[in-house]
Structure 1
Amino acid sequence: MSDEPSAKLPRRQFLQGALAATTLAAAAGEARSARAADTTPTPDRIRAENALPGADDWQLTRVRVDAAGFRSPWIEGYCSRQSVLPGESIDIFVSTNPVRSFRLELFRMGYYGGSGARLMKTIGPLESETEPTPTPGEKNLHECGWKSTVRLTIPAHWTSGVYLGRLTTVAEPGEAYWQSYVVFVVRDERPADILFQVSDNTWQAYNRWPNNYSIYTHPKGNQGPWADVSFDRPYGREAQHQGVVNDPRTVGSGEFLPFEFPLAYWLEQHGYDVSYCSNSDMLTPDRGLRCKSFISVGHDEYWDLRQFRSVEQLRDHGVNLLFLSGNSICWVTPFEESSSGVANRIISRGGPYGASNDYAVGRERDHGPFPHRGPDEGLLMGARNVEPVNGGGDWIVTQPKHWMFAGTGVQQGESIPGLVGWEYHGQPADIPGLQVVGAGTAWQGGVNPQQWTATIYPGPKGNFVFNAATIFWAQGLSSPPGHVLPWSHWSRPHGPDARVQQITHNLLKRAISG
């Protein structure tokens, strides 16, 4: 299959019915062929992919955000879908102000000999327009209705992964160029050892584009059910920059680069058989049931209730679950369709997970009423969200003789500095066979102490569920090119740590064996 995207049409003709129907029919045929080819196990696919030449130049070099600090109107864009299969098409919507032509470079993120990415396709120069900032809708919804700038059909040979599209303006004489990203997942349907779920619901919940509009910024309060957010808008600069990461080179990439890329980079460095998916791909268990293990990574706070039930089914059918994350499964997050009828493009805070536990009851009392109350997340993850849920601390070993610590040489009470933060889990669930393998105190800048707990418990079919209890776990695995260590509450992780690496190897070895 050709690498070329579908021919770019004059914009006023792009959505004409007959031509669009032909394009979609062709894409559907290609997608069916790609899906048929993708049901065969290919355990060496990641090794083969990472043996290909990497790209030395994939990061953003010239980045500019406006006075509010959240968007880059000089060039910004978004994608029509969170994820896409090979053979399917995805639209990319781009705005420039002032109007400039631009170049689009598409990179797959991985290891690639340490470079961190591979250049898959360069498109352009492309024409653009200055698209309007949407008028806030009900519940402060900002939903862009921009014209499609380019439609890309994903080639059958593109490997599942997280893809960044780097947008670069073509500068006029005597002026500077500007850059930002778009981000999407290429998924597949093949059996794999590891399914890596990106936390894109949480990226979008915190996304403040265009000007401080997120799930947290409604005048009625920052924890209630007041705001809706749309995937039909650019990602601004990563929303945690004021207190966790200070890296403007993330503009347009959600929160993948600071919190999730270190895990993807490390997995691919070691040749693990990994496939990738969006939160929205887990509304049914089908994808996960074709994998041996499922990973939640980084800050995975916002889950549709269907995601919860799907991952419950994975566990009950023998899939191993690794929550290498913190503050996960905190809020029931119903998906809604966009105003144009596209499924799963709007999310909202529907209510807390936690059933009748104190944490959920307190959230309802202080910030409700909410339309939903989710089940006890601890009965799935092994440990729960607690209040306060944010702070920083050391990850302290409590069960050094457990198999997950084999080869690490750790001792009882040994600590891994700064690995807990900026949010975490605690309060272990009453599950037969559950063990607390790490525990300690997290502090909000030296005050408001809270106890965090890392847990592991046996699943019903010889599988297991591990909960690392920290957003920062991936920081102990690798530091890819351009990576900036996060910090919070006057505490920070120290970066790659041989103990975290060996623990994760031990967990994955057990998860994918047999």
Structure 2
Amino acid sequence: MKPNRRRFLKATSTGAVASALLRDASQPAAAAESKSPAAASRKSNLIVQENAREGSLDWQLTRVRLDSTAGFRSSLIEGYCSKQSVKAGESIDIFVSTKPVAKFEIEIFRTGYYGGRGARLMTKVGPFQGKTQETPAMGEKQLHECRWEACTSVKIPEDWVSGVYLGRLTTLPDEGPYWQSYVVFIVKDDRPAEILLQCSDNTWQAYNRWPDKYSIYTHPKGNQGPWADVSYDRPYAKYAQIYENPQSIGSGEWLCFEFPMAYWLEQEGYDVTYCSNVDLRTPDRALKCKAFLSVGHDEYWHIDQYNSVVALRDAGVNVMFFSGNSVCWVTPLRPGFDGRENRIMFRGGPYGGEHKWAVERAEQHGPFPERGPDEGYLMGSRNIRPVNGGGDWICEKPDHWIFEGTGMKKGEAIPGLIGWEYHGDPPDIKGLEVVAAGTAWQGGTNPSNWTATIYPGPKGNFVFNASTIFWCQGLSSPPGHMLPWSHWSRPHGPDARVQRITKNLMDRAVG
């Protein structure tokens, strides 16, 4: 099969992050592009058609200001949405507060590739007369649940393609500077597709500190117990870990850890669709796809999600964890104050069954009301202690098909790709292979052994675990994204080897 020259030339000519331009001179030229039949024969699908539309030059946040230098909230303008995900034809309410009172507008963008621009303007609504909405009093278990008045309701047009959408909120002052932040929501669909990318929004909300210090991790009793409730009915504050990223205000962790995967998939023309964590409480939607992806920091899973993905694997869907610290905490969900489902969550208990890690967590930080099964028998690796650190991703089995075309040798490292959390301690699963392995460090201390694995499913499918939150950093660096760092270690950005390994996995999965 000849290399896909047309796609390669198109990517480089549009100024995209072309692997051939970014790879180290020591890396083989073959790593720059895939030779798979699936890639060469890919037709013009819905995602290709969407990305042929003109992207936006101005969609990022330009002027942002926090309430305090060391704070997380931006009360000049902030907002949230009534649902995590919504289908075409359905409506979603947007709630906004401005302090001081100011007029504002909302521009809604779909994030994607779009010739390297990263997003497309879908609609603009407003202007609206803003109002300062009440910061809710702290409820039981430190719950902060906003009961704001909606500024608008948006009915999703039938031609809006599934994806992650950002609503950019911008004040419109009569004089003086304007201020901005985001709201975020997912447009989902039910169509058969090659790939389903699950957003990790349960984890976004678990770490959300809005209005100041009220995440799952900030209870006076400690940061690991079942003591704190958090609500989706509140804005996303600035992301609170790893790095200083004002671009993240209102967007959860999407731009930090998951967007590089979506950008790369859409650049490559894969037929990808998107969903929220809560959309996997049943397997129905994902059973219409050939591959299911867990991406980035996917720590908090409802037990229904776990059962759904087990069902996907057993039905023959390919399952890939391009993530770390995943399937770590059982996350019960309950309705909000007005009966809307899946709006309040907490840390219900550890996954791990009777594995030592989970037992220790329960003994030290319980009592937890729920205990999940051993996640290793789904993912092929487990959450381990210490779970965080940094290291290099090191090839263990260069002859495995996932390394085809990379030229990688046993012991060859991709610098900084492990972090800031990862997996290890693979269980005894028939056919499981450790394809990469090494040591992560907390600075220069507390070494921890991580493992990247793959094992066969029951119907010719497979389950892959890259074993790092940072995997997607090696795929692309789209507009609006910045590289993280952790424990005096950092990923280097797009790498032709990461791109080729991912392409090998995707092409095998979608056939």
Give the TM-score of the pair, scaled to structure 2: 0.91
Aligned to 1:421: 419
Residue 43 (structure 1) shift = 6.6
Aligned to 1:210: 211
Tell me the distance in 2 between the aligned counterparts of 1:459 and 1:137: 45
For structure 2, which runs of at least 5 residues remain unmatched after alignment?
1-42
Query: SS where residue 150 of structure 2 aligns?
Result: coil
What amino acid is the match of 1:364?
A: A
Deviation per CA, 1:52-104: give whole Å up to 9, x if none.
Answer: 00000000000001115111000000000000000000000000000001010
Within the candidate set 80, 83, 86, 1:84 is matched to 86
Deviation per CA, 1:287-346: give whole Å up to 9, x if none.
Answer: 000000000000000000000000000000000001000000000001111011110001
Matched, 1:51 2:49: no
Tell me the distance in 2 between the aligned counterparts of 1:115 and 1:288: 29
Aligned to 2:201: 200
Name the Cα RMSD after superposition.
0.8
Query: SS where residue 252 of structure 1 aligns?
Result: coil
Within 5 Å, which residues of 2 pair with 1:10-409?
44-67=45-68, 68-173=70-175, 175-240=176-241, 244-409=242-407
Query: SS where residue 473 of structure 1 aligns?
Result: helix
| Contact 1:78 1:234 survives alignment (8 Å) | yes
Deviation per CA, 1:135-165: give whole Å up to 9, x if none.
Answer: 0111000000000110000000000000000
Residue 113 (structure 1) shift = 0.3
For structure 1, which runs of at least 5 residues remain unmatched after alignment?
1-41
Tell me the distance in 1 between the aligned counterparts of 2:188 and 2:422: 28
Tell me the distance in 1 between the aligned counterparts of 2:210 and 2:464: 34
What amino acid is the match of 2:130?
A: S
Query: SS where residue 474 of structure 1 aligns?
Result: helix
Tell me the distance in 1 between the aligned counterparts of 2:86 and 2:130: 24
Deviation per CA, 1:232-283: give whole Å up to 9, x if none.
Answer: 000000121xxx1221111000000010010000000010000000001000
| Contact 1:85 1:187 survives alignment (8 Å) | yes
| Contact 1:442 1:450 survives alignment (8 Å) | yes
Aligned to 1:16: none
Tell me the distance in 2 between the aligned counterparts of 1:126 and 1:282: 35
What amino acid is the match of 2:199?
A: V
| Contact 1:109 1:117 survives alignment (8 Å) | yes
Residue 126 (structure 1) shift = 1.1
Aligned to 1:29: none
Q: Larger relative contact order (C-alpha < 8 A, sep ≥ 6)?
A: 2
Tell me the distance in 2 between the aligned counterparts of 1:197 and 1:365: 31
Aligned to 1:34: none
What amino acid is the match of 1:46?
A: I
Find runs of 4+ consecutive structure 1 residues off by over 4 angstroms. none
| Contact 1:245 1:484 survives alignment (8 Å) | no
| Contact 1:102 1:125 survives alignment (8 Å) | yes
Tell me the distance in 2 between the aligned counterparts of 1:446 and 1:170: 49
Query: SS where residue 260 of structure 1 aligns?
Result: helix
